Structure 1
């Protein structure tokens, strides 16, 4: 995954489904595009908001990080 572009936390924050149409989230330093997921409509998934690093919030989720295998990794969090 070294060929992925690097994005800052500020760039990630803009992809929250509100400021820009893209909906991105980060996990373990990798940014995923969840724009097409019906579970992330308007940049919100239950109590989680897009445009953020969700690594520390995953422990409270009813699923494992394997759920992110469904999404395209589009960058690294720098």
Structure 2
């Protein structure tokens, strides 16, 4: 069964105070906690616990390949 996250639930997974760091991209929620680049839930001005679809599409230099191998935690619902 796939976990469904609301925006409010996703915000709790910001990588702070012992929480894991999750981000949503195109409706899929990924766990980025194990990535050194996401230490403390922050990466190049972006904060975990958010939908970063537009960031990946418009600003990220690596494109969707950065998502390969990340654990999928569920999906983002509106």
Q: TM-score, normalised by structure 1?
A: 0.90
Q: Structure 2 matches for 1:38-77, cutoff 5 A?
A: 38-58=36-56, 59-77=58-76
The 3 A distance-change label for structure 1 pair 57 and 32 is same
Q: Is the 8 A contact 1:26 1:32 kept in 2?
A: yes
> Which runs of no fewer than 5 residues in structure 2 stay unpaired?
none
- SS of 1:70 mapped into structure 2: coil
1:4 aligned residue (2, 6, 20): 2
Superposition TM-score, scaled by structure 2 size? 0.90
Aligned to 2:19: 21
How far apart are the structure 2 equivalents of 1:17 and 1:75? 17
